[in-house]
Amino acid sequence: MTASSKYLSGAHEAHDAHHEEDPKQYLMYDPKPRGEMNAMVMESMHTTSWKFWVVLGVLSFLVVTCFFFAWGYMIDEGLYVGGVMRPAYWGVFLVNTVFWIGISHAGTFISAILRVFKAEFRRPFTRAAELMTTFGLIQAGASIFMHMGRVWLSYWMFPIPNARQLWPNFHSPLMWDLLAISTYVLGSTMYLFLPLIPDLAMARDRSTGWRKTFYKILALGFRGTEGEWRHLTVAMNFFAFAIIPVMFSVHTIVSWDFAMAMRPGWSSSVFGPYFVLGALHSGMGAVAMVLFVMRATMKHMDYFIRKEHFDALGKLMLMVTFAYTYFFFNDYIVQWYGGDKATDNLLHWLEEGPMAWMFLQFVFFNIVIPPLLLWSKKVRETPWLLALIGLMINVGMYWERYLIIPVMLTINRMPFTWKLFQPRLEIFLTIGTFSMFLLFYMIVSRLIPLIPVWEVQEGQMTHSLRKVGKAKLPTISEFE
Amino acid sequence: MSEATLLAIFEDLDPAANAIDTLHEMGVGDENINVISGVPVAHKILGRPHPWTNVSKLSMGGAVAGFAFGIFLNFGTPHLYGIQVGGQYVTPIPPGAIVTFEMTMLFALLATFLGVFLDSYFPNYRPLEYVDEVSDGKIAVFFRVAEDDAKKFTDAMNTLGAESVKPAEARQL
């Protein structure tokens, strides 16, 4: 009886605590004057410690050596120094391409889909995610050019009249890639820039010297008139709707580079959605990592990026994990059941061969760990833990792409050609692309406001607490 | 009769909306009023007419142009430089749908982006009427009145809670 009443009283206390939850823990219900928020964001851009410069220096060194020098050396010597050779002529460069395109998907997903559905938690971190899209696509593009070998002939892919009597073959998935990725790069860069204009104008009003000139040029003379806002919001809404199908098309087309070939492990009708979900899976994980690093290293970011945002992101990651698992299993079971000898060999090789560690790690990091941990609110609200899960997901997804490309090319229908793929200079070039991505991010974090201040303030204006009976309830007004 | 452009700065939306109402009552038409704010404010909140925009029309125009370009790439160019691959159609429809889709979206997005530039007259680096306080969350109401009436309007805006009322001056941003 005593135990029971204790239990009940404990439950009652918990119930009360729940009711007394401070709404100010949520960014939308904890407004600050706009001037103060602007000052915080400007200070976060201007404040750099010596550690920042050390990391910047190391990354710059890695970019010069592992990206530019290594690439130059490969162009001079030939693609063989990279590591590609019979039977796998598609190697780590294409693994990197697929990986970076995957990373780029989170920006659009978070920004566009959450904008369409008016998910308020998106507001402070849309730009950080959109930047990932743009920088990820730059690395994906660079990786394709590395794979191409003779990069100076890349114009052959463009449909321009020429004297060679050669015209791009639009039946080829590689041409679809060119068109889809170009559309996505241009679309996502424009989508990044449009909501940035008002914040560039804000930065212009608060800067001097070269920064003033820089922001003045980029802000294009924006003042915030009714007309300017109207044109901007109509365009952003259009972009939010239009970029979603483009995003889906890009990774679907990337998957068709493989699925259109009659190869064991590749020929699959679910590869399109499987790749799209894989991209979202890795992209969400990357956003968790970026938000953690931003919050930990940049001044005032703990005001803008809070536990609620990690919690919401964690829920999204959990949902994407379930969907990804479903498509992975769907792809796997059909191949496993099919009875094709070459596919059978491949699956056995993945599960028991020398690359089994990679396959098992991929399954563990992407399918087992996330749902086991992300159901817990405590885990979701712990930034470093969510970032760690994001890191594991990304390691797992990189392995998945590695297994799909060079490994599946190696274990083919001709066992006499089987050979363990050994990347060589490709490893340095991979380090180069990762370093360049981080370097771009670090430089831009000091040049443009990573927090869309006007969007945060707009959100705070629409949120208020309404008194109903004895309680104050969160209320959202429709301003549009 | 010469005219003066006045600038009234308000702390919040409510006094700004009241001020615009008062300006209407005092005979200032919407065409002589402009509002500048740090966040988008719906026209109905301030009692202003719905602002026009050509952006959506340009988007649709871009989509149509992109669709036409996609069709040309798919079904026009293969005949210019024909690639005969055994057993395959020169202009098959399913791959054509992919290329046409991408071109439609690309042109629509480009037209939308350019639409913002055209409608907003961007980039515009000439001196413009502006106050920095706008990006701190203040609402600036610009209005054009007869110079002789400036004092009367200044007093009215001050009564309605304007933080300051002064002649608007174009300046380099």
Whether the complex's predicted ipTM is more than 0.85 is answered with yes
What pLDDT, in 10s, does the model give residues A162-187? 666 667 888 888 899 999 999 999 99
B135 contacts on A by Cβ (under 8 Å):
34, 38, 198, 201-202, 205-206, 224
Question: Where is A133: in which H helix or E strand?
Answer: helix A126-148
A–B: how many Cβ contacts below 8 A? 185
In this prediction the pTM is 0.92
pLDDT for res A12: 52
Q: Do B135 and A202 touch (CB under 8 A)?
A: yes
- B74 to chain A, closest Cα gap in Å: 7
User: What CATH number does the domain located at A40-158+170-455 have?
Assistant: 1.20.1630.10
What is the b/e burial string over A198-217, where b = at least 16 CB atoms within 10 angstroms of the residue's CB?
bbbbbbbbbbeeebeebbbe
Query: Boundaries of CATH 3.30.70.120 in chain B?
Result: 3-49+126-171
Mean pLDDT (whole number) for A76-102: 92
A229, amino acid identity: W
Percent of chain A with pLDDT over 90: 71
Residue B83 scores a pLDDT above 80: no
What dotted CATH number matches B3-49+126-171? 3.30.70.120
Distance CA A5, CA A121 (A): 39
Q: For chain B, give the longest Cα–Cα distance.
A: 85
% of residues, chain A, pLDDT over 70? 94
Q: Do A221 and B115 touch (CB under 8 A)?
A: no
The per-residue pLDDT for range A17-62, each reduced to its tens digit, is: 555 677 788 898 888 998 999 999 999 999 888 999 999 999 999 9
Confidence of residue A105 (pLDDT cuts 50, 70, 90): confident
Domain layout of chain A by residue ranges: 40-158+170-455
Which residues, 6 or more positions from A162, have their beta carbon under 8 angstroms from its beta carbon? none
Q: From the CA of B135, how many Å to the nearest CA of chain A?
A: 6
Q: Is A360 helix (H, G, I), strand (E, B) or coil?
A: helix
For A286-319, the DSSP string reads HHHHHHHHHHHHSTTHHHHS-HHHHHHHHHHHHH
Q: Which residues in chain B are contacts of A174 at CB distance < 8 A?
A: none
- CB-based contact, A456 to chain B, within 8 Å: no
User: Phi-psi region for residue A162, left (φ > 0), alpha (ψ -120 to 50) or beta?
Assistant: beta
| pLDDT tens figures, A328-344 | 999 999 999 988 899 99
Please, what is the average pLDDT of chain A?
Answer: 90
How far apart are alpha carbons B66 and A234 in whole angstroms?
20
Q: What are the tens digits of pLDDT across the range A256-288?
A: 999 998 888 998 899 999 999 999 999 999 999
B161: contact with A, CB 8 A cutoff = no
Asked whether the beta carbons of residue A38 and residue B135 sit closer than 8 angstroms, the reply is: yes
User: Which of B14, B39, B132 should be substituted to probe chain A, the one whose Cβ sees the most A Cβ atoms within 10 Å?
Assistant: B39
Chain A residues touching B17 at Cβ < 8 A = none
Q: Please indicate if any CB of chain B lies within 8 Å of the CB of A35.
A: yes
Tell me what percent of the residues of chain B surpass a pLDDT of 90.
61
pLDDT of residue A64: 98
The single residue listed with the structure tokens 């693994």 is A95
H/E element, A181: helix A173-205
Interface test with B, best of A226, A237, A451 (most B CBs within 10 A): A226
Instruction: Give the gap in angstroms from C-alpha A465 to the nearest C-alpha of chain B.
Output: 18
Q: For chain B, where are the alpha helices, taking DSSP H only?
A: 13-25, 43-46, 55-75, 77-80, 93-120, 150-159
Arithmetic mean of pLDDT, A396-417: 93
pLDDT tens digits for range A458-468: 899 888 888 88
Q: Do A221 and B125 touch (CB under 8 A)?
A: yes
H helix intervals, A353-476:
356-363, 369-374, 377-380, 383-402, 408-410, 425-445, 453-462
Residues 56-95 (B) with a CB less than 8 A from some CB of A: 56, 59, 73-74, 77-78, 80-81, 83, 85, 88, 92, 95
Contact A35 B105 (CB under 8 A): no
**Contacting residues for A15 by C-beta, under 8 A, at least 6 apart:** none
